[in-house]
Structure 1
Amino acid sequence: MTDTLYDQLGGEDAIGAVVDEFYNRVMADEQVAHYFEDVDMQKQRVHQTQFISSVTGGPVEYTGGEMESVHDGMGIGHDDFDAIATHLDDALAEFNVDDDDRKAVLEAIDSHRDAIVVAAD
């Protein structure tokens, strides 16, 4: 049996640690931090951990909202999406996730770009 990307990343606890590092980076970035000003970050971290766990093949059900409806009206452009993806890549690298696994995670996230990016750059 082949391990899923979720397994290769170390499971939900390891993904949760990456998500914590990811949001530390996002919140320090003036370009994108404003998207989270009125967000319950504890709840956001739980949802993001579920989301990444789910899209990497884990036995975790994502209970967050539908991507399009959650991001509707936020005006997220491609530059902002890319900045946030870069923070995720950097957080994964901080935890020594290898290049192929980082690329696979980013591809899984990027598959939701059209539902998240609603503004033209």
Structure 2
Amino acid sequence: MAQSIYREIGGRDAVEAVVSDFYDRVLADERLRPYFDGLEMNELHAHQVQFVSAVAGGPTDYTGENMREAHAHLDIDEADFDIVGQYLEAALRENGVDNDNVDVVMSEVAALKDPIVGE
């Protein structure tokens, strides 16, 4: 089923569009922008495309850092994690991903909450 999600949503081009939309939303939010100060956004964008592709069952394995290690220095709180999740969900929906597939992707993201917020 997961492989079909990647195909259903339109493959790499669709994932690229979702991730671009997602970062536009996140970086426009003054509460979240400081988390990205000094980061190489092209590299971050590539990692996010890889992550979303992997979560959607695409032909990609996520090779980025462990989620806890990658985010530990940022001191992300639960509220900010939730806002980022809302932006990802909005980007998925805005880019034509259907409800069932949004739910699958977002459940994978929700499972990362504890490691990302340092629980």
Q: Same fold (TM over 0.5)?
A: yes
Letter in 1 for 2:22: F
Quote how far apart the aligned CAs of 1:73 are: 2.3
What letter is aligned with 2:52? I
The runs of 5 or more residues in structure 2 that have no matched partner are: none
Query: C-alpha root-mean-square deviation of aligned residues, in Å?
Result: 1.6
User: Which 5+ residue runs of structure 1 have no aligned equivalent?
Assistant: none
Quick one: distance in 2 between partners of 1:65 and 1:7?
A: 26
The answer as to whether partners of 2:9 and 2:96 remain within 8 angstroms in 1 is: no
* Contact 1:56-1:108 at 8 Å conserved across structures: no
* Large movers: runs of 4+ above 6 Å: none
Structure 1 counterpart of 2:61:
61
Give the aligned partner of residue 78 of structure 1: 78
2:87 alignment partner, SS class = helix
Q: Which amino acid aligns with 2:66?
A: E
- Contact kept in structure 2, 1:93 and 1:102, CA below 8 Å: yes
SS of the residue 2:74 aligns to: coil
- Between Structure 1 and Structure 2, which shows a larger proportion of helix residues? 2
Distance in 1 (CA, whole Å) between partners of 2:2 and 2:105 is 17
Measured in 1, the distance between the counterparts of 2:71 and 2:3 equals 32
Residue 37 of structure 1 aligns with which residue?
37
- 2:111 pairs with 1:111: yes
**1:20 corresponds to:** 20
1:98 and 1:29 map into 2 onto residues whose CA distance is: 25
CA contact under 8 A between 1:56 and 1:105: conserved in structure 2? yes
